[in-house]
């Protein structure tokens, strides 16, 4: 099957978690908005296309099926792409971990948009500095410490018993945080040897390495989830 992925064309955000899974598996897919422009997304959001009604991108079209929400998309794709171990318990655990990753992504977003997504960053800068300080001091160590323990409780190399889409998502998390919070991440890395090792191994996977070196991989930028504002990386 050739999948059709819908996500805003110039944004390095939640759609990247889906792209990494498709790329790692060598799956056939079309990145619709990048090829045809963002306007192709709007009829789906307006309910003018058949299938489930998405609230926002990313969403995936697989045949006649439309699936929205990153974790739900990956729950659907993973067995088909052989990116999750067999068995209901392991698939449920993988989904649990991906939902926790989604929680972390939401908190990253809220460091630069703590009041409203409809406002520009410059309009909530003071609140953003306060939110980011709490994130750096408390929430970031809590989340990353949890995922480090997940790896320790597994085989030390994977979130599950073998390579899975959760590993790919943790790679994206570590990459995004390295861009957005390089100062805050520097001391944390010493406490996260398994997560750092996992990120390095994922980057070396042949299809992922080829993807990262290609124009299909957008650079992190200040339009996506992971944004680097120096004043949010450390108290000034």
Q: What are the structural domains, with CATH classification, of the chain?
A: 3-81 (3.40.30.10), 88-204+229-233 (1.20.1050.10)
Percent of the chain with pLDDT over 90: 98
Rounded CA gap, 157 and 23, in Å? Answer: 20
Q: What is the pLDDT of residue 117?
A: 93
Q: Tell me which DSSP letter residue 230 carries.
A: H
The pLDDT assigned to 225 comes to 96
Quick: pLDDT tens for 205-226.
Answer: 999 999 999 999 999 999 999 9
pLDDT in tens, 50-67: 999 999 999 999 999 999
Q: Taking a C-beta distance cutoff of 8 angstroms, is the pair 114, 131 a contact?
A: yes
**What is the Cα–Cα distance from 119 to 110, expressed in whole angstroms?**
12
Q: In 10 A of CB 87, how many CB atoms?
A: 10
Please give the structure tokens belonging to residue 33.
Answer: 């908005």
Cα 232 from Cα 214, distance rounded (Å): 30
């Amino acid at each position: 099957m050739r999948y059709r992925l819908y996500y805003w064309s110039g944004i390095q955000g939640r759609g990247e978690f889906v792209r990494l899974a498709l790329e790692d598996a060598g799956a056939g897919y079309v990145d619709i908005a990048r090829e045809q422009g963002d306007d192709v997304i709007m009829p789906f959001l307006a309910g003018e296309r058949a299938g489930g009604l998405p609230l926002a991108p990313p969403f995936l079209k697989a045949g006649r099926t439309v699936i929205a929400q990153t974790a739900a998309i990956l729950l659907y794709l993973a067995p088909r792409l052989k990116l999750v171990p067999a068995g209901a318990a392991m698939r449920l655990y993988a989904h649990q971990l991906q939902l926790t990753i989604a929680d972390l992504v939401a908190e990253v977003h809220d460091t630069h948009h703590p009041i409203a997504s409809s406002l520009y960053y410059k309009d909530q800068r003071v609140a953003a500095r306060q939110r980011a300080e709490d994130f750096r001091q408390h929430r970031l160590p809590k989340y990353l410490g949890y995922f480090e323990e997940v790896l320790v409780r597994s085989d030390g190399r994977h979130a599950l018993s073998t390579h899975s889409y959760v590993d790919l998502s943790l790679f994206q998390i570590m990459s995004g945080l390295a861009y957005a919070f390089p100062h805050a991440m520097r001391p944390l890395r010493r406490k996260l040897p398994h997560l750092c090792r996992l990120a390095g191994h994922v980057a070396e996977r042949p299809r992922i390495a080829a993807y990262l070196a290609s124009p299909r991989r957008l650079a992190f930028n200040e339009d996506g989830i992971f944004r680097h504002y120096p004043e949010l990386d450390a108290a000034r």
